[in-house]
C-alpha cells in the first residue's frame, strides 16, 4: 500500500457498505480488485483483465498489474535477488545477502506510516524472540526519511534487528526486485540464498506457524505454541470487547489466518507427531470460535491422533470435549479413550479422561463411576476434577432412582402467569433438564433431545428445560436459530444459586432427571445422555 492508496480504499474496500461513492468507475473496479487480491481471494485475475480492457494505461490499472505480478518475483525455490544497501544503524556498513550467509533471514518491507505494517510488528517481535538464535531479520524502510524510522523505534517499538532505508520507496531497485508493490511484504530467505517463503504465509499470525514449519527444532511443539498464543490473543480481544461495554454474545472470534496456516502446513506435512499437533491445533481454534468440528476434521482426529498423542496436552479439556461431542456412542468413545487414560504422558490429560469416564457412567454404571472417582482421588488428589467428581457423586444422592422428585415451582418463561409444578406433570413422564445455551455439552445433546421429543411427545412425555443462562433473552435468541427450536416447556433459573440446583444436586450441566407418572425419579444422568436417552425412554414409553 502507499499513502495515496489509503484514502480511496477507505471508501471502496470496507466490507458490507461504502462510506462514500467511489471517485470514478476505474476506482471502483480497482477497489474490488484490491479487496480480493489483498485477501488472497479468487477473482482478482478476472478484475485485472477487466481493468486492462476498459482502462488500459491508467495508473490504477498499471498498479494492479504490478501488484498481481509481484508475488512471482519471490516464489519459494527461486534465488533471492542480490542487494547491497547501507546499514541504517551502522554508518559505513553494507548489508547484503552475504551478510547473512549460512543463516535464514526474514526480509521485511515496511514503513512507519503503514497501519498494516505496524499492526504486524508485535508478531514480528514475538518471532524474533522465539527464533533469534537461528533467524536474522532485516527491515527495509519505505519511509520518506530515515529519521522517521529512528523516531518510531525510540517512541513505539524497538525492532532490535537490522535495518536499511530505501530512498524512492517502492521505486527503489531492491523493492522492485522483491516485488514490494504493496507493504508489508515479507520474504524468508534460507542460508543458501534460496527463497523459502513469501507473502501471506508470513503475514500476521501465520508468520509464527511458517517459521515453526521451516526453522523449529520441535515443529510440533512450535505449532502448538502458535495456537496457544492465538487463543491467548482471542481472550485479550474478548476482554477488550467486554470492557468497551459490548455483550459477550456480540463477540465474533475469527481464527481464519491461523486455521488457514495450519491447513496449508498439514497438506504437505508427513511426520505423524507434527500432523497430530496441527490437527489438535485446528480443533482448538474451531472451539475458540464457538463451533464444533466438521465431519472431516473429526474423522482425521479419530484416525490420526490417538488418545495417547502428546498433542492433546495443548489443553487438558480438549480430549474429554472431543469424546463427548464427536462420537456416535459411549462404546466408541470409550474404545478411543481407554489407552490414553492409562498411558498418556501428561497427568492432566489422564485426569481429564478419568473425569470423562466418571461422568459418562454416573447414574447408570455407578460401580465404574465410583472406581474412576477413587482413581482420581488416589492418582490425582490435587487436580480440580477430583474435587468436582466427589461433589457430583455426593450430589447424585439427592436424586436416586426410586425417590420422589424434589418439589418445584417455576414460572413459564413464555408466560409468567403460568407456573410449572410437580403436579402439572402428574400422570406423565417429564424430563427435567438443567442446561444453558452457553454450555457446549448441553448443545451437543440437543439433536438427540429434539428427536426424542418428536418421537414420544404424543405418548405422555414432556420436557421442562431449566436454564442457567445469564439472561432470559439469551434463551430466546438461541431458540431462534435454525435447528434448536426446543418446542417444549421452559423456565429460567439464572446463573446464580437457585434452590432447585441444590434440591436436585446440580453442580454441573447438563443434568437430566426423568420423573415418572407417579412423581418418582426413574432415571438420571448417563442414562439420559447421548444415544442412551432414546433407549431409556423406549424402556418406559415403548417403541
Residue 87 C-beta-side C-alpha neighbours within 13 Å: 13
Residues 523-529 have a mean pLDDT of 93
Give residue 17's pLDDT.
31
Task: Name residue, grid cell 468507475.
Answer: 25
At 9 the pLDDT is 38
Residue 22's pLDDT band (boundaries 50, 70, 90)? very low
- Give the domain ranges of the chain: 3-71, 75-215, 219-305, 409-541
On the CB side of 258, CA atoms within 13 Å amount to 29
**Angle made by CA atoms 234, 114, 64, in degrees to the nearest 5:** 105
DSSP per position, 200-223: GGGSTTHHHHHHHHHH-SSHHHHH
* Residue 150 reports pLDDT greater than 80: yes
Say whether domain 75-215 belongs to CATH 3.40.50.1010.
no
Task: Please tell me if the domain spanning 75-215 has the same topology as the one spanning 409-541.
Answer: yes
Least reliable range by pLDDT among 82-91, 166-175, 248-257:
248-257
Give me the mean pLDDT over the 261-273 stretch: 95
What's the average model confidence in pLDDT over 284-312? 95
> Distance (Å, rounded) from C-alpha 130 to C-alpha 220?
15
Q: What's the pLDDT at 496?
A: 66
**Do β-strands 136-141 and 162-165 pair in parallel, antiparallel, or remain unpaired?**
parallel
Query: Are 452 and 478 contacting, i.e. CB atoms less than 8 angstroms apart?
Result: no
Q: What percent of the chain has pLDDT over 70?
A: 96
- Tell me whether the omega of the peptide bond preceding residue 427 falls within 30 degrees of 0, making it cis: no
CB-count burial class (<10 Å; 0-12, 13-18, 19+) for 344? buried
What are the pLDDT digits (tens) for 384-421? 899 999 999 998 889 999 999 999 999 999 999 999 99
CA dist 369 and 372 (Å) reads 5
Return left, alpha or beta for 358; rule: phi > 0 is left, psi -120 to 50 is alpha, else beta: alpha
Q: How many CB atoms lie within 10 A of CB 361?
A: 21
Which pLDDT band, with edges at 50, 70 and 90, does 352 fall under? very high
Write out the E strands in 47-199: 84-86, 94-96, 105-110, 136-141, 162-165, 185-189, 195-198
Question: Which residue in 411, 440, 435 sits closest to 486, CA to CA?
Answer: 435
Domain 409-541 is of which CATH architecture? 3-Layer(aba) Sandwich (3.40)
With beta carbons less than 8 A apart as the criterion, state whether 396 and 508 touch: no
pLDDT value of residue 23: 62
The answer to whether the beta carbons of residues 172 and 141 sit under 8 Å apart is no
pLDDT tens track for 203-234: 988 999 999 999 999 999 999 999 999 999 88
Amino acid at each position: 500500500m502507499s499513502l495515496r492508496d489509503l484514502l480511496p480504499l477507505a471508501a471502496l474496500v470496507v466490507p458490507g457498505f461504502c462510506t462514500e461513492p467511489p471517485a470514478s468507475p476505474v476506482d471502483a473496479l480497482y477497489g474490488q480488485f484490491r479487496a480480493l487480491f489483498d485477501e488472497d481471494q479468487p477473482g482478482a485475475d478476472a478484475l485485472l483483465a477487466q481493468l486492462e480492457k476498459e482502462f488500459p494505461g491508467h495508473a490504477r490499472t498499471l498498479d494492479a498489474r504490478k501488484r498481481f505480478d509481484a508475488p512471482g518475483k519471490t516464489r519459494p525455490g527461486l534465488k533471492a535477488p542480490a542487494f547491497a544497501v547501507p546499514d541504517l544503524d551502522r554508518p559505513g556498513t553494507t548489508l547484503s545477502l552475504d551478510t547473512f550467509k549460512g543463516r535464514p533471514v526474514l526480509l521485511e518491507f515496511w514503513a512507519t506510516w503503514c497501519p498494516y505494517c505496524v499492526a504486524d510488528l508485535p508478531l514480528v517481535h514475538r518471532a524474533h524472540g522465539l527464533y533469534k538464535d537461528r533467524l536474522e531479520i532485516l527491515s527495509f524502510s519505505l519511509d520518506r526519511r530515515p529519521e522517521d524510522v529512528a523516531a518510531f523505534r525510540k517512541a513505539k517499538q524497538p525492532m532490535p534487528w537490522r535495518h536499511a532505508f530505501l530512498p524512492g520507496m517502492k521505486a527503489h531497485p531492491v523493492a522492485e526486485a522483491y516485488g514490494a508493490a504493496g507493504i508489508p511484504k515479507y520474504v524468508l530467505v534460507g542460508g543458501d540464498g534460496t527463497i523459502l517463503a513469501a507473502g501471506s504465509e508470513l503475514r500476521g499470525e501465520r508468520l509464527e506457524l511458517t517459521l515453526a514449519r521451516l526453522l523449529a527444532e520441535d515443529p510440533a511443539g512450535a505449532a502448538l505454541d502458535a495456537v496457544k498464543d492465538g487463543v491467548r490473543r482471542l481472550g485479550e480481544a474478548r476482554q477488550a470487547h467486554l470492557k468497551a461495554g459490548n455483550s459477550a454474545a456480540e463477540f465474533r472470534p475469527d481464527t481464519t489466518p491461523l486455521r488457514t496456516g495450519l491447513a496449508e502446513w498439514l497438506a504437505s506435512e508427513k511426520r505423524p507427531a507434527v500432523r497430530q499437533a496441527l490437527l489438535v491445533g485446528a480443533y482448538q481454534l474451531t472451539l475458540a470460535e464457538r463451533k464444533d468440528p466438521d465431519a472431516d476434521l473429526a474423522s482425521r482426529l479419530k484416525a490420526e491422533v490417538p488418545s495417547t498423542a502428546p498433542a492433546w496436552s495443548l489443553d487438558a479439556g480438549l480430549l474429554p470435549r472431543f469424546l463427548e461431542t464427536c462420537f456416535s456412542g459411549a462404546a466408541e468413545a470409550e474404545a478411543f479413550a481407554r489407552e490414553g487414560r492409562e498411558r498418556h504422558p501428561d497427568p492432566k490429560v489422564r485426569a481429564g479422561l478419568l473425569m470423562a469416564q466418571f461422568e459418562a457412567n454416573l447414574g447408570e454404571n455407578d460401580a465404574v463411576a465410583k472406581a474412576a472417582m477413587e482413581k482420581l482421588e488416589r492418582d490425582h488428589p490435587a487436580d480440580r476434577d477430583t474435587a468436582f467428581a466427589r461433589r457430583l457423586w455426593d450430589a447424585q444422592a439427592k436424586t436416586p432412582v426410586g425417590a420422589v422428585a424434589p418439589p418445584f415451582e417455576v414460572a413459564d418463561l413464555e408466560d409468567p402467569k403460568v407456573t410449572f409444578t410437580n403436579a402439572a406433570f402428574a400422570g406423565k413422564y417429564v424430563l427435567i433438564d438443567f442446561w444453558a445455551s452457553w454450555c457446549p455439552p448441553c448443545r451437543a445433546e440437543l439433536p438427540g433431545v429434539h428427536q426424542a421429543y418428536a418421537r414420544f411427545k404424543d405418548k405422555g412425555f414432556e420436557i421442562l428445560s431449566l436454564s442457567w443462562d445469564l439472561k432470559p433473552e439469551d434463551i430466546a435468541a438461541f431458540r431462534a436459530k435454525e435447528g434448536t427450536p426446543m418446542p417444549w416447556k421452559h423456565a429460567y433459573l439464572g446463573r446464580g444459586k437457585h434452590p432447585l440446583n441444590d434440591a436436585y444436586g446440580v453442580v454441573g450441566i447438563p443434568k437430566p432427571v426423568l420423573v415418572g407418572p407417579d412423581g418418582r425419579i426413574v432415571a438420571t444422568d448417563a442414562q439420559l445422555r447421548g444415544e442412551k436417552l432414546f433407549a431409556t425412554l423406549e424402556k418406559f414409553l415403548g417403541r
